[in-house]
């Protein structure tokens, strides 16, 4: 039998590992870009269910990263005007784009229940995680 994991199963396992290992990673998921419709689509995730399965480019933290191609660290979500609230328990967020052959195909999105937990170490770590994920494509 073929017991190997498909890509979405691997991404889900990565979400699970990250949320289990790092106390302040309270929601971990992936969004993937559709460049024709200019929308992001929710992929594998671990954490509270979210209504935001489709996000237009430019909208919220995730939508802004789809356009900017840059990491976005939000120490305190209450200070953001272009922000999509998923849960009142979420206090901060980090989004790091996922590049495959130089193209921004999506992003890893992490929500935290504490204020200002994300450092440059998280950014470098999540960039590394995404570089490893890019090898699955
Ligand atoms: N807060 C995000 C929306 C996605 S949820 O965090 C899962 C945003 O502002 O783009």
Span 50-71, pLDDT tens digits: 999 999 999 999 999 999 999 9
Does residue 94 have a pLDDT over 80? Answer: yes
Using pLDDT thresholds of 50, 70 and 90, give the confidence band for residue 103: very high
Mean pLDDT of 5-16: 96
Mutation test of ligand 1: which of 55, 72, 89 has the most ligand atoms closer than 8 Å to its C-beta?
55
Task: Locate the domains of the chain by residue range.
Answer: 7-134
d(CA 122, CA 92): 13
Ligand 1 atom closest to the CA of 42, numbered from 1: 7
Indicate the CATH number of 7-134 among 3.30.9.10, 3.40.50.1000, 2.60.120.380, 3.30.450.40. 3.30.450.40
Size (the chain), residues: 137
Q: Is the CB of 66 under 6 A from ligand 1?
A: no
pLDDT digits (tens, 9 = 90+) for 28-38: 999 999 999 99
**Which band of pLDDT confidence, cut at 50, 70 and 90, is reported for residue 3?**
confident
Ligand 1 proximity of 28 Cβ (cutoff 6 Å): no
Cβ(74) – ligand 1 distance below 6 Å = no
Q: Is 57 a pocket residue for ligand 1 (Cβ < 6 Å)?
A: no
Any ligand 1 atom below 6 A from CB of 86: yes
The region of weakest confidence among 1-10, 18-27, 121-130 is: 1-10
The three-point CA angle 28-136-134 to 5° equals: 65
Contact criterion met (CB below 8 Å) for 60 and 50: no
Sequence-distant (6+) residues with CB within 8 A of 39 are 33, 54, 55, 56, 57
């Amino acid at each position: 039998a073929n017991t190997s994991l498909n890509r979405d199963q691997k991404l889900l396992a990565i979400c699970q590992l990250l949320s289990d290992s790092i106390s302040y990673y309270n929601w971990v998921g992936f969004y993937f870009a559709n460049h024709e419709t200019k929308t992001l689509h929710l992929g594998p995730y671990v954490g509270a269910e979210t209504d935001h399965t489709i996000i237009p480019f430019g909208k919220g933290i995730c939508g802004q990263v789809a356009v900017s191609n840059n990491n976005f660290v939000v120490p305190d979500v209450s200070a953001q005007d272009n922000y999509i609230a998923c849960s009142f328990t979420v206090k901060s967020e980090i989004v790091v784009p996922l590049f495959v052959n130089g193209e921004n195909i999506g992003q890893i999105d992490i929500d935290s229940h504490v204020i200002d937990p994300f450092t440059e170490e998280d950014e470098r770590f999540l960039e590394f995680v995404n570089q490893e994920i890019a090898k699955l494509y």
